[in-house]
Structure 1
């Protein structure tokens, strides 16, 4: 049986701000209303569904990693730098302002407006290179 990722719910302080940040950073079409969510379509029919949380709710930061092409990495990393966003080469933030070259590719971590960690990589980890 083939298993494919379909969607996940992303908690946000401001779902419109969070969805717009993601679509702008990744160069994707605007989110669409889907029930109580703002859904951002990603590859293979999957989506990130942004949900508004109550003002007093605690958001537990999650990690979302995306495999992107070399040109897409350049575009997204360019937007990170243009916005002056804090970013790191590693998940622990010990190499600020840098990218990694794990497995012969490139990768970087940064945060969205709700504090979730976004990661872009050009080569899957553990693939050699």
Structure 2
């Protein structure tokens, strides 16, 4: 099993809309993924005004032991942090949480290994 995160606009179950700006997202769907099966779905919130130690979304997810991120696009700074933490990143996600999972299961998302690949 691997812990996966997807940036969402708000916590609305499988109908949650993907956030198209990873760095500005405050909510993430987080779940365990194992051979096409999703388990333990929950939503977590990264409050940018958190005191005393605000965290970027990349560091927030690394601290949550996330091992994979599915997103539409991630800027180079956040992507560098995620990859540096050993988190696998997939681009090309669109639609609702349900849509993203279906596309991932169908191998329609592309793994990113370097910041330059996000722009391809």
* Shorter-normalised TM range: under 0.3
Query: What is the TM-score when the length of structure 1 is the normalising length?
Result: 0.26
Query: What is the TM-score when the length of structure 2 is the normalising length?
Result: 0.28
- Greater relative contact order: 1 or 2 (C-alpha under 8 angstroms, separation 6 or more)? 2
| Greater gyration radius | 1
